[in-house]
Amino acid sequence: MRALFRWLSPFYVTRRLYRWTMTVVRRAVEHFRRSLRLQLITTFVFCLLAALLAASLAHEMTEKLYLRPYVDYSQSMERMDWDTRRLASIIREQKVTDKAALQQMMNNFEQDVGLRMLLVNLDGKVVLKSAKATESQVDLYSVISRAMELRLDRDRYRPQEFVAFYPVELAGQKGYLIARGMPEASIRYESTGVNMIALPVFLIVLFYLFYRFTKRKTGYIEELADSLLVISQGKLDHRVEVRGEDELGSLARNINRMAEELQANIERERQAEKTKNELITNVSHDLRTPLTSVLGYLRLLKDHPAGGPDQQEYTRIAYEKAEHLKRLVEDLFEYTTLSGQGVQLYRQTISMNELVEQLVEEYVPLAEEQQLSFCKSLPDERLYVSVDPEKFVRVLENLFSNAIKYGKKPGSIDVTLAREAGGIRLSVANRADEMAPEALNRLFERFYRVEQSRSRKTGGSGLGLAIVKSIVELHGGRIQADYRDGVLSFHIWLPAPRS
Report the pLDDT value the prediction gives residue 427, as an integer from 0 to 100.
94
445: alpha, beta or left? (left if phi > 0; alpha if psi -120 to 50): beta
C-alpha torsion sign, points 178, 183, 184, 190: positive
Judge whether residue 324 has pLDDT over 60.
Answer: yes
Give tens-digit pLDDT for 257-287: 888 888 888 888 888 777 766 666 666 666 6
pLDDT grade for 417, boundaries at 50, 70 and 90: very high
Mean predicted confidence (pLDDT) in 335-356: 77
Q: What is the pLDDT of residues 436-450, one digit of tens each?
A: 888 888 888 776 766
Task: Give me the residues paired with residue 424 across strands.
Answer: 419, 494
- For residues 168-186, give the mean pLDDT: 83
DSSP string spanning 73-127?
A: -HHHHHHHHHHHHHHHHHHHTTS---HHHHHHHHHHHHHHH--EEEEEETTSBEE
pLDDT higher for 433 or 150?
A: 433
174, pLDDT greater than 70: yes
> Is the pLDDT confidence value at 456 over 50?
no
pLDDT given at position 416: 93
The predicted-structure confidence for 484-495, as pLDDT tens digits, reads as follows 988 999 999 999
Q: Assign 400 to helix, strand or coil.
A: helix
> Are residues 426 and 416 in contact, defined by beta-carbon separation less than 8 angstroms?
yes
96 confidence band (pLDDT: 50, 70, 90): low
User: Quick one: average pLDDT of 50-56?
Assistant: 91
Q: Nearest Cα to 327, choosing from 258, 398, 245?
A: 398
Q: Is 279 exposed, middle or buried, given 0-12, 13-18 or 19+ CB atoms closer than 10 A? A: middle
Mean pLDDT of 187-211: 83
> What digits encode the pLDDT tens for the residues 223-260?
888 888 888 888 888 888 888 778 888 888 888 888 88
Is there a contact between 495 and 367 (Cβ–Cβ < 8 Å)?
no
In this prediction, residues 467-475 reach a mean pLDDT of 87
Q: Is 432 helix (H, G, I), strand (E, B) or coil?
A: coil
Give Cβ neighbours of residue 489 (< 8 Å, ≥ 6 apart). Answer: 427, 428, 429, 481, 482, 483
What does the pLDDT average to over 211-216? Answer: 88
Interior CA angle at 406 toward 488 and 412, to 5°?
Answer: 65
Q: Are 330 and 357 in contact (CB under 8 A)?
A: no
18-42 confidence digits (pLDDT tens): 788 888 888 877 777 778 888 888 8
**Statement: residue 356 has pLDDT above 70:** yes
